[in-house]
Structure 1
């Protein structure tokens, strides 16, 4: 929810990634001074349009294909485009962002919408039974049930949308579309903290490049360990990988505690100061809400929902969101940073009428920091390495000198950002 979702108005709040994931890990690690990596790497899933139903079962189980509105298969018709993105464009399976990119090219050329050919896939499977009418009818019923169960198991709202729009998958093709961008530690996402790797895998080159400093999964802040969405440059971990990563980090953290077994000195005055800061939105609202007839409209504060809309508008329009057709350039990114600076100033005037809104206030502050880290890192990386996730229109191709990690770090003492380029060291 850093970017404005496709679902607005009546569908407001519908998104692919859980809305309660607000970038907390990025916020807390960055504010502590931890170096971040891959903050330019976002993930854009292609899903059934508007309800975000999964497409995997259709591609893998039903062996369906996606076509443009004219019936053309963009994966076949645009194979030549993959040559431009060697070596990644020539591997199997084709990377998700490049599959996105080929479909986006069709949409840009006016060949959309893009469709999942559900009716074609079901018919093709059932055709194996066409000489036996009874078996054919039975198989069609099984396939129809599987099609609905796929959504009922994972994305019930997609089933509701199909029912509401009279979609029978065995008879009618269904729209798919690229969703808005997300920041995630699974799938093709990679944003997170720069963490120490395991000692037994290090070489002189990796140590020189800053891949290791003593404890697995420890950030550049002493004693701060990161896993899951919080750790960067480790895509495709999902829940099982995050669990394994958590076990590795927990064991390393215990070693750290045994090696540094001293009680930290906690400043009680600092704790009190932080409590006041956390509760400030409640105070701002209480002191000002009676000054206008409508508590939502007040010159003395901004409520979290309106704050969220402002942030999402900035990111959508200037940082390669849906509205911008996933494209951006230096001028747009610099404008985004200017607007985020003003938004950050206004965050001091966030107001909360209750504890729920207080939570929403801080979720939006966290999103704002995630947004800034993302914009700064896209601006830093002067190339396009992930077409289909975002495209730098002013740097539309890959560059050899940018086969590197684009890192960033915020200094808690000075408030200044530092951009860091770290080499990719191949171990295999």
Structure 2
């Protein structure tokens, strides 16, 4: 099979049409007048973490609270390893973005006085099964935004420390896209599938986090030399057993407490931070007092009905199980368990190291949502807020670059620049076969919508990418399958890097084994074969996970303490230490992952690259 090369140009490329990506596109179109291209692996109508809907806005400044209260909560939950400046700027945008979503059509529940119905100290209730179609509809109505569905972005185009676009493949046809852009937003979500899940085999995708979020954004950043932060702060969700449905709806909706098999409430014994709730459940089971539950038996019929409706908005499997078994929550307590670990910067602080504008250490590359580090407890509105910040920052960056380009024209420094600005929404150019195979040093004339430079594609680099991908497509004697390597990877991470099977615990020696075996699997992945484009996507996803696994292992090894039980349970260093109140960062340089230790940004402070 041979790939066709296609070139696209745009002002602002957004990789991932999920929560942060769609909101960023709307914001950029509003504030800049420029053109936006969203590249989405699935279809933005039902993609990302909100694909199945959500029944609450979990990050909201309710009456009587302030953004600073939210910052304090997130800081405590993360045991101080947060970026105060990122949390503060996010928290200030929570209510504003919720109000905008309501104007777009999201139903936010209200009481008899017309006030939002709160759920706890930071949440409001919504009917959010259709939240993603609402976002997608708003995007579709904006003429400045082009959506490229069923396209998988797999690598950045970076020159001299600046982003210039990205490479992508079509999922359904043999096409390799070379996308040139003035600025890029990575909004690809976090990473699932690194560890063996609760339900291996046929049901392995019955998990808490979207199984299609494979860490692509993290992997592209790592390979591109971007600085990453706090990947050792994994996220383990406490969920309803088997259905992996959220437990917050039970805990906050009806005040359900965590109890063991003896009926004892144990949550205060271990603490009530997110990681402590998981750790307490694991410990109770290990010490013979399990299974563990959320105590719901005895709730009213009205509360039962409310719970069933709430789960239909985001996890219908839980409601269906209650109905099918006739064991409704008022009759029987709900058993709970921890999931496998995920890397997800919307709940923990793991991801790209960004400044307050959400720009990464690669100039012109921004990150928002689950892929951006330093700012935990984002949830839906936090992802919106970060998308808004990144889009406004990117618009400013493009404007400054445009002014510099205009000045270079005045000064006569226009050699080897692209020409022709026709104002098109998103121009599609197809490389001729002679160009692909011949003049790899020729420049490709591109057009864009706002008069500043877009660097033409590097033909030699594009052709090298093409040959590598065609190597997978034309392989006839692959020694193993993608599924086999994925299962092997998950087994290694589970056993040696703190998965469910090892009760989330790891040691220095086990991490050495994990690193060695993941490295070997990474080498084997280069020998895989694909019979079509979808299988090629699976290979790229596996390689993304393997790249991320190596960075996660390095981060787990580097933080020599146990600051977050279960999230990072380091048996050689079972206690926390004030000397580790710092950020553990990393950067891949010349093929070596170098660890970087940075002091905490103080309360009220601000970090700049």
State the TM-score bracket (shorter-chain normalisation): 0.7 to 0.9
Q: In 1, distance between residues paired with 2:383 and 2:536?
A: 29
Q: Which of 587, 593, 596 lines up with 1:417 in the alignment?
A: 593
- Any conservation in 1 of the 2:556–2:568 contact (CA below 8 Å)? no
Q: How many residues align?
A: 362
Q: Which of 14, 19, 22 lines up with 2:214 in the alignment?
A: 22
1:294 corresponds in structure 2 to none
Matched, 1:225 2:366: yes
- The CA RMSD measured in Å over matched residues stands at 1.6
Q: In 1, distance between residues paired with 2:484 and 2:212?
A: 17
1:191 corresponds in structure 2 to 350
Q: In 1, distance between residues paired with 2:246 and 2:370?
A: 21
1:3 corresponds in structure 2 to 195
1:245 corresponds in structure 2 to 386
Alpha-carbon deviations, 1:227-251, whole Å to 9, x = none?
A: 1122111111122222221222122
Q: In 1, distance between residues paired with 2:201 and 2:295?
A: 29
Q: Which of 317, 338, 344 lines up with 2:495 in the alignment?
A: 317
2:532 corresponds in structure 1 to 354
Measured after TM superposition, the shift of residue 165 of structure 1 is 4.3
TM-score of the superposed pair, with normalisation by structure 2: 0.57
Moved more, 40-49 or 99-108: 99-108
Matches within 5 A, 1:2-401: 2-76=194-268, 78=269, 81-82=270-271, 94-120=272-298, 122=299, 126=300, 140=301, 142-187=302-347, 189-197=348-356, 216-261=357-402, 262-264=453-455, 266-284=457-475, 287-288=476-477, 300-401=478-579
2:90 corresponds in structure 1 to none
Residues 266 and 150 of structure 1, relative CA distance in 2, 3 Å threshold: same
Measured after TM superposition, the shift of residue 420 of structure 1 is 0.4
Residues 10 and 249 of structure 1, relative CA distance in 2, 3 Å threshold: closer
Q: In 1, distance between residues paired with 2:200 and 2:531?
A: 24
Measured after TM superposition, the shift of residue 169 of structure 1 is 1.8
Which ranges of 4 or more aligned residues in structure 1 deviate by more than 6 Å?
A: none
TM-score of the superposed pair, with normalisation by structure 1: 0.81
Measured after TM superposition, the shift of residue 366 of structure 1 is 0.8
Q: Which has the higher helix share?
A: 1
SS in 1 for 2:367: coil
Q: In 2, distance between residues paired with 1:243 and 1:4?
A: 31
Residues 247 and 174 of structure 1, relative CA distance in 2, 3 Å threshold: closer
Alpha-carbon deviations, 1:248-282, whole Å to 9, x = none?
A: 21222222223334432532011111122233321
Q: In 1, distance between residues paired with 2:563 and 2:344?
A: 18
Q: Which has the higher strand share?
A: 2
SS in 2 for 1:225: strand
Q: In 2, distance between residues paired with 1:243 and 1:217?
A: 13
Measured after TM superposition, the shift of residue 166 of structure 1 is 4.3
SS in 2 for 1:349: coil
Unaligned 5+ segments in structure 1 are 83-93, 127-139, 198-215, 289-299
Q: In 1, distance between residues paired with 2:398 and 2:252?
A: 46
Alpha-carbon deviations, 1:111-164, whole Å to 9, x = none?
A: 1110122213x0xxx4xxxxxxxxxxxxx2x23322322322211122333345
Measured after TM superposition, the shift of residue 4 of structure 1 is 0.8
